[in-house]
Amino acid sequence: MKTKTYLTVVLFCALAANAQLTVTVASSKVSGQKALVPLAMKNSLTETVQSARAVVFILDDQGKVTGQATRWVIGGPKAPDGLSPGATNSFQFVVTSNKLIPPNATAKVTFNRVVLQSGKLADVNKDVQVFASDKNAPAK
Q: Taking 50 as the threshold, does the pLDDT of residue 31 lie above it?
A: yes
> Cβ distance 65 to 59 under 8 Å?
yes
pLDDT, tens only, 52-81 = 999 999 999 999 999 999 999 999 666 678
Domains of the chain: 20-132 (2.60.40.10)
Q: Taking 60 as the threshold, does the pLDDT of residue 16 lie above it?
A: no
Give the pLDDT confidence score for residue 49 in this predicted structure. 96
Q: Taking 90 as the threshold, does the pLDDT of residue 1 lie above it?
A: no
Q: Taking 60 as the threshold, does the pLDDT of residue 12 lie above it?
A: no
pLDDT, tens only, 76-125 = 666 678 999 999 999 999 999 999 999 999 999 999 999 999 999 999 99
3-state secondary structure the chain: CHHHHHHHHHHHHHHHHHCCEEEEECCCEEECCEEEEEEEEEECCCCCEEEEEEEEEEECCCCCEEEEEEEEEECCCCCCCCECCCCEEEEEEEEECCCCCCCCCEEEEEEEEEEECCCCECCHHHHEEEEECCCCCCCC
